[in-house]
Structure 1
Amino acid sequence: MGNYLVLQTDFGLGDGAVSAMYGVAHMVSDDVVIENLTHDIPPYDIWVASYRLYQTVQYWPKGTVFVSVVDPGVGSQRQSIVCKTKSGHYIITPDNGSLTHIMHYQGLEEVRVIDEVTSRLPHSEESHTFHGRDIYAYNGARLASAEVSFEELGSVIETTSIEQLSMVDATIDNGILTGSIDVLDVRFGSLWTNIPLNSLQEVAIVHGDSLQVTIYHHGHKVYQNIMKFAKSFADVQVGEPLVYVNSLVNIGVAVNQDSFSDLYHIGTGIDWTIEVRKAPKIIFE
């Protein structure tokens, strides 16, 4: 196991919360290498926290410890857990659905419950609203520095017993690909779907094809257009929409040098679904 500790929160960097987590980790061990996944998860958005772990964990060395703190239930009866993924990584997080995407797409090898009374920053017993510092960063640093083993952090629970958010799998039906808009490429406003590239390949869609893209919110059509399946953004004009393959080898929808989500008021989550099919050929006489 390496010494990497990677932090994700919805705290932002406007105050000292993240710095306090760094400080606690360094008090545990000077050898811990602390990095940030992001601290800009939308407040309380467990779905996005879950997706960002799925987006990132697999690209770090085995043994890396992740701490994810998006915790609207802090101080309640929700459990604190640590898991070992099938890829050999560790994640410490509230048991509130933050492991949904990792469990669904990559798999969990084992999950343990952390004792929030005994396994916490010394002298923090009276604080009940900053578990990110007192429990997650503290135990994350202990695990990353090998002060404790994964097995010593808590007792085993059934993997299937942890909280999971609802998900919608991508489907193919009569040449129509259907999936959900899972998250945004935040800075650029592109839509990231859960439709994998191999689904397009199954229906013989190749780069350069014209595709009909339809977006629904709660089953109501909110957008439809024909756009190119492009290999890169440079394949279309500035301001033109396109379908492309994102960094997770899933299908994305974007506008070249503009924000698709802002232009068309498109959101994310299982209430937002998308259909992709080959566009009918138009013959001009």
Structure 2
Amino acid sequence: MGHPLLFQTDFGLADGAVSAMYGVAYSVSEDLKISNLTHEITPYDIWEASYRLIQTVQYWPAGTVFVSVVDPGVGSTRRSIVVETSSGQYVVSPDNGTLTHVKRMCGVVAARVIDESVNRLPNSGESYTFHGRDIYAYTGARLASGVITFEQVGPEVPVDSVVELPVVEARREGDLVAGTIDVLDVRFGSLWTNIPREMFLALGLGHGSRVEVTITNDTRHIYKNILVYAKSFADVYVGEPLVYVNSLDNIAVAINQGSFAKAYNIGTGNSWKIQIRKAPKIIYE
């Protein structure tokens, strides 16, 4: 019996690219069970692809194969790679930083470069722009269906050699915690930070506490306000901003039934900084 196979790309669904990947996979085995993680990654955004993987990978059974194709360097000298996570899943991807968060937060125990002389769609050797179909979907399907083992993917390479994107670590500085806005909860516009819940709670905060949130982008001051630390969105009025713990056990900022990102034109990445501290007491004279 095979294992689940999941696809993630920045292709969208407006044309036949994703369908072609499905077709290649089913040509390997019609018994495969294929699901989509997402095909709405922002074009060329390797960081977002990395983050979407860590949202998902560890919740699937051991043996599950993920194929992630966000590949602005397609056809270049970047490697094509498969890694095994510490919890037994496999990720097939260009070695361009897509595996950053899986490597850091889930753990990678082994890595292999795809041997394209074996694990490449037959008669596709002169195509250099659709590795998602010709190499990644094909190899992922062969691995998920049991046609090949992980060892047959290709030569093993050191885990330390798997490419990682630059990461700014969250930190505590006295009475505040600071980090970056890593990614958006896209549909609802919430800001997901890299500040862990435990670091935040070390400030002595509980649900209902008021916190001061400051957001900057490089040298520009974007936002500063007093928000409530809420257990859920229902704890604040519609249209009211809040701080909460997201599904990755990190701190997030949102507007109840509104988009914080759109309201304040906020983006993501290492240049988007956030600081949170216990709200200062206001003394009226």
Shorter-chain TM-score above 0.5: yes
The answer for the alignment partner of 2:78 in structure 1 is: 78
1:116 to partner: Cα distance:
2.6
The answer for the alignment partner of 1:246 in structure 2 is: 246
The answer for the alignment partner of 2:126 in structure 1 is: 126
Partner SS, residue 154 of structure 1? coil
In the comparison of the two structures, how many residue pairs are matched? 285
Q: Aligned partners of 1:42 and 1:223: how far apart in 2?
A: 24
Q: State the Cα deviation string for residues 80-137 of structure 1 (Å, max 9, x = none).
A: 0000011111000001000001111111101110123432001111111111011000
Are 1:275 and 2:275 matched, yes or no? yes
1:284 to partner: Cα distance:
4.6
The answer for the alignment partner of 2:163 in structure 1 is: 163
Q: Aligned partners of 1:2 and 1:250: how far apart in 2?
A: 34
Contact persistence 1:63–1:89 (CA under 8 A): yes
The answer for the alignment partner of 2:227 in structure 1 is: 227
Partner SS, residue 62 of structure 2? coil
Q: Aligned partners of 1:159 and 1:175: how far apart in 2?
A: 37
The answer for the alignment partner of 2:139 in structure 1 is: 139
Contact persistence 1:213–1:224 (CA under 8 A): yes
Partner SS, residue 188 of structure 1? coil
Task: State the 4+ residue runs in structure 1 displaced beyond 4 angstroms.
Answer: none
Q: State the Cα deviation string for residues 183-218 of structure 1 (Å, max 9, x = none).
A: 000001000001111112212111100000001111
Q: Aligned partners of 1:218 and 1:59: how far apart in 2?
A: 35
The answer for the alignment partner of 1:57 in structure 2 is: 57
The answer for the alignment partner of 1:14 in structure 2 is: 14
Q: What are the ranges of 5 or more consecutive residues in structure 2 without an aligned counterpart?
A: none
Q: State the Cα deviation string for residues 156-202 of structure 1 (Å, max 9, x = none).
A: 11111122100011111102110110000000100000111111221
Which amino acid in the other structure matches residue 265 of structure 2? H
The answer for the alignment partner of 1:24 in structure 2 is: 24
Q: 1:32 to 1:111 in 2, by over 3 A?
A: same
Are 1:87 and 2:87 matched, yes or no? yes
The answer for the alignment partner of 1:111 in structure 2 is: 111
Q: Aligned partners of 1:2 and 1:58: how far apart in 2?
A: 18
Which amino acid in the other structure matches residue 46 of structure 1? I
Q: Aligned partners of 2:152 and 2:27: how far apart in 1?
A: 20
Task: Tell me the TM-score normalised to structure 1 length.
Answer: 0.97
1:2 to partner: Cα distance:
4.8
Contact persistence 1:2–1:62 (CA under 8 A): no
Q: State the Cα deviation string for residues 202-255 of structure 1 (Å, max 9, x = none).
A: 121111000000011114321100000011111111111100111111111001
Task: Tell me the TM-score normalised to structure 2 length.
Answer: 0.97
Q: State the Cα deviation string for residues 57-85 of structure 1 (Å, max 9, x = none).
A: 01111110000000011111111000001
Which amino acid in the other structure matches residue 198 of structure 2? N
Partner SS, residue 96 of structure 1? coil
Q: Aligned partners of 2:125 and 2:2: how far apart in 1?
A: 30
Which amino acid in the other structure matches residue 54 of structure 2? Y
Calculate percent identity across the aligned residue pairs. Answer: 62
Q: Aligned partners of 2:5 and 2:38: how far apart in 1?
A: 13
Which amino acid in the other structure matches residue 55 of structure 2? Q
Q: Aligned partners of 1:171 and 1:220: how far apart in 2?
A: 21
